[in-house]
Structure 1
């Protein structure tokens, strides 16, 4: 009897250790289970067209979540990411509407979003303000600035470069995808490479895992934090460009829950809110889990309130699992 219990305990410890080393395994298993469940529960879920729609719907929030991942890996959080992206949509659209060439308008949008996010990074690193407070304030500031700059109205996006990411193509004449999906995949691959294969990526993890130890090894904490927020700002600008491709209007009231949705994707994907653990692979899986859950529940006729309830439960469960894993590994 005692031998059996000992074997079961050993297996349980090995399983926990495996999940601790590979935090993306749990979310991936949850995604597979959700896909199988909804495929069996509905007759419309398991189709090429539906999967294409799910991915298209997750592109903007998923891209916001990529930038959010960088910030959370350092032990911070960015509540203003969606507001920065919405500001980017209005800025690009108004500049191009005012006869600025499309490429220049897009470039100015990238610079504008990067500068705003960099201000948050400076406040966090130089003045040592809590990221939650800084980005909460930046959320209010950018929401107000965007509303004033847009004059409280939506702006139609001129055809051309700003709407190009909405262009649809077909793989094998059957599978629909957009240029926005291609750009999102490229950003994911680039960010994965940078985090996994470069010194900067190792510095990001080190700052989030143990800042004092990182400082003692010669890592410039402030410089790393500022660069993280700046890079995240550029990613938010790309999310703004994708949003214009999906809906060719710059709406100052768009993506009001984009910040929470992006945090949800990051947390469900296995990245720790305490920093230093996780990555963009899990974030992509988390964004797909949220999109699959909402699509499947909608096709089952489940009220949207219950969809939000299910998403909230997933977030709480993911954070609880992360805390439990950290306690066992401590």
Structure 2
């Protein structure tokens, strides 16, 4: 009897600890990704001493900048329980349009840039219109526009890369950097950080942000509470399109060119960053800070594994495994009893 009572006590004690962790992660979804990032940085710095050098860390930040901006737009959509498979296509097509406006149409850099932003915004608005007005599932809509935008991208560019030297300096300005010792901070990374700061405020301090969370948590309840969920959904897809276009501008600076042959993996990378950052695929829970951490996790893992001599195929395996763990953890956290 005594042994059975002790065993029952141990089970209850273990359950209590698990529940405390579950409640903690439910209330603070950023803690899990932050812990993963810290552990990864420590592990890779032990494996290879070059990992923590200023030169390498600046490289990691540059590599994740475009993905982080796309993931920011993806976060807005996933918070509403949607998905956007056309993020990379819009970014690359916007970059090609900007370059084409400059080189072929002879437009000044600022005009070409603004027109590129407008085109990206319009592409996002098309997604939003099909989701909210035609009532098509986001997965189907963005899967279709993914193919459409990549096809138009090939038509407009003739599958040819536009060199940065043929464009106004404004188009490649985001690739310029500010030296901080051996660390180099690009203007593209600065823009990315400012965007995250703005949307952190917008989602946490404005009525629009609260409506985004409410729509993703329970769209019907939000509608009954007076929230115009259709407008909220249309707005997030439209704003995401603008963010993707900004990502396209940063991409030009990163590559010092506008290439139609990049971005195939950007869609999945942006979703990966959002998931690793603790944002729920079921909507209504997550934060842009988590997304930034998720993008850094992807960059740190790929860079660290590369420095460790791990083959590319196993780098993808590691990232995929992280995604599965993150989704499983999300489902467990959502079961918390409040």
Scaled to the shorter chain, the TM-score interval is over 0.9
CA distance in 1, matches of 2:182, 2:54: 8
2:214 pairs with 1:206: yes
Give yes or no for contact 2:109–2:168 (8 Å, CA) kept in 1. Answer: no
- Tell me what 2:141 maps to: 134
Deviations 1:253-293 (A, max 9, x none): 11111000000000011001111110111100000001000
- Tell me what 2:175 maps to: 166
- Tell me what 2:3 maps to: none
- Tell me what 1:314 maps to: 322
Secondary structure of 1:30's match?
Answer: helix
- Tell me what 1:281 maps to: 289
TM-score, structure 1 normalization = 0.97
- Tell me what 1:255 maps to: 263
CA distance in 1, matches of 2:289, 2:70: 14
Give yes or no for contact 2:57–2:183 (8 Å, CA) kept in 1. Answer: no
Pairwise CA RMSD of aligned residues?
1.1
Give yes or no for contact 2:108–2:168 (8 Å, CA) kept in 1. Answer: no
CA distance in 1, matches of 2:10, 2:255: 59
Unaligned runs of 5+ in 1: none
In the TM superposition, residue 5 of structure 1 has moved relative to its aligned partner by: 4.2
Unaligned runs of 5+ in 2: 1-5
Give yes or no for contact 2:175–2:187 (8 Å, CA) kept in 1. Answer: yes
Matched residue count: 329
2:21 pairs with 1:15: yes
Give yes or no for contact 2:275–2:281 (8 Å, CA) kept in 1. Answer: yes
In the TM superposition, residue 305 of structure 1 has moved relative to its aligned partner by: 0.4
Secondary structure of 1:26's match?
Answer: helix
Runs in 1 of length 4+ with deviation above 4 angstroms? 2-5
- Tell me what 1:36 maps to: 42
Residues 176-255 of structure 1: pairs in structure 2 closer than 5 A:
176-255=184-263
Matching residue within 61, 69, 93 for 2:67: 61
- Tell me what 1:83 maps to: 89
2:103 pairs with 1:99: no
CA distance in 2, matches of 1:159, 1:37: 43
